[in-house]
Structure formats: C-alpha cells, structure tokens
Amino acid sequence: RKEVEQDPGPFNVPEGATVAFNCTYSNSASQSFFWYRQDCRKEPKLLMSVYSSGNEDGRFTAQLNRASQYISLLIRDSKLSDSATYLCVVNFRGTYKYIFGTGTRLKVLA
C-alpha cells in the first residue's frame, strides 16, 4: 500500500460546481498535512496547510480526519483557473520527509 494515496481523476466538472478530493495516508504517526497545486509542466505551489480543526481559505476548505487517516479538499464555485493537479502531502512525525500523493487532476469546463 502506498504511503499516500489519491484518486488520479481526472475530475471533469462544470464552472460553478463544487468538487471534493480525498487523500488517504497509511502512517498514523503523520503530523503535518498540505495540499499543493501543480499546473501542467510547472512546479508545485502550496495551496494550503491542513489543520486538525479544519480550515478554509476563500472557496477552498481542507479537512483532516485522523481516526480514518484521510484529508480532504473541497472547492466551491469552481473556476476555469482551478484546472490543475492537486497534490496531497504528508510529513511523518520524527522525519524530514514530505510524502506526495500522485495527484488528482481537475478540469473545470466552461
């Protein structure tokens, strides 16, 4: 089993739709969680960190469920510019390694 797993998609959604991605992780000692966004042939960029209590940044909401070992990303009112690959990232306690998922591709359609 991979340490961090994501549905690769693609998720094709119309503009204005709400879309949610999940990411599961295998190591219960994981301590830090992030969502990164990566555009085609570009470098990853931090979208948001994920906190235990859940957090929101504009149209984006991230949730953490430690009991079930998954994190989620919800995007409301999707824009064409949201089309990208969304990478789930986990850092395990006591290590410096950041483990990336394979990414979930999102295509927002006009």
Partner 1 sequence: GAGVSQTPSNKVTEKGKYVELRCDPISGHTALYWYRQSLGQGPEFLIYFQGTGAADDSGLPNDRFFAVRPEGSVSTLKIQRTERGDSAVYLCASSLVGGQSTDTQYFGPGTRLTVL
Which residues bind to partner 1, rule: CB under 8 A?
A: 4, 8, 32, 34, 42-46, 49, 87, 91, 95-103
Minimum distance between the CB of residue 46 and partner 1, rounded to whole angstroms? 5
- What is the rounded distance in angstroms from the CA atom of residue 99 to the CA atom of residue 41? 20
Closer residue to partner 1 (CB): 46 or 80: 46
Q: Name residues whose C-beta falls within 8 Å of residue 73's C-beta, 6 or more positions apart in sequence.
A: 20, 21, 23, 35, 47, 60, 61, 62, 86, 88
Q: Given the complex with partner 1, which of 43 and 67 has the nearer CB atom?
A: 43
**Whole-angstrom distance, CA of residue 40 vs CA of residue 86:** 11
CB of 20: closest distance to partner 1 in angstroms? Answer: 19
Which CB atom, from 9 or from 72, has the smaller least distance to partner 1?
9
We find the least distance from the C-beta atom of residue 79 to partner 1, in angstroms, to be 23
Residue number, 61 or 86, with CB nearest to partner 1: 86
The pair of three-digit structure tokens given for residue 54, joined into one six-digit string: 């859940």
Bridge pairing between strands 30-38 and 44-50:
antiparallel
